[in-house]
Homo-oligomer: A and B are copies of this chain.
Amino acid sequence: MSLIQIYQCMCDETRLRILNLLQAGELCVCHVQEILNEPQVKISKHLSYLKTRGMVEVRREANWMIYSLPTRPSRELKSNLACLQDCVAEDPVFRRDTAKLAKLRGKFTDTSPICCAKANRATAVAK
């Protein structure tokens, strides 16, 4: 993953919002979708874009695809993610996303991973 590719990934608002969310931990597609309030196909395609460029990793958990930032990020990626974090700290859209995520997280007893799989299991247990 080259520096150029990092910037290519970061030059779209939807992708920036996704990356911002993933900094707080892994997420399944449906939760990203819910937080950003965008159509499934849009989210899916942006995640795919990020994945082909090595900006995110995926694993499957039953029906759900769980996306996360690379476990071993390059120095460039680390720098840029930190920079992003710094830049959006006071941006209303990003703050709102982060707040929404925290709220979603609040629905679960433990902290990670957050995904529909867990949501489902949680509600299953609740029943």
Q: Which residues of A contact B (CB under 8 A)?
A: 3-4, 7-8, 10-13, 16, 75-76, 79-80, 82-83, 86-88, 91
Q: Which residues of B contact A13 (CB under 8 A)?
A: 4
Give the 5 A-B residue pairs with the shortest CB-CB distance, closest first: A7-B11, A7-B10, A83-B83, A8-B11, A76-B87
Instruction: Give how many copies assemble into the complex.
Output: 2
The prevalent SS among residues of A at the interface is helix
Q: A13 to B12, alpha carbons, bound, how many Å?
A: 17
Tell me, rounded to whole Å, the shortest Cβ–Cβ distance linking A96 to chain B.
16
A sample of 21 inter-chain contacts (CB < 8 A) reads A3-B16, A3-B87, A3-B88, A3-B91, A4-B11, A4-B12, A4-B13, A7-B10, A7-B11, A7-B16, A8-B11, A10-B11, A11-B11, A75-B87, A76-B87, A79-B86, A79-B87, A80-B83, A80-B87, A82-B83, A83-B83
CB-based contact B79/A83 at 8 Å: yes
Q: A80 to B10, alpha carbons, bound, how many Å?
A: 12
Tell me, rounded to whole Å, the shortest Cβ–Cβ distance linking A99 to chain B.
19
Q: A117 to B4, alpha carbons, bound, how many Å?
A: 33
User: Which of A16, A76, A91 has most chain B Cβ within 10 Å?
Assistant: A76
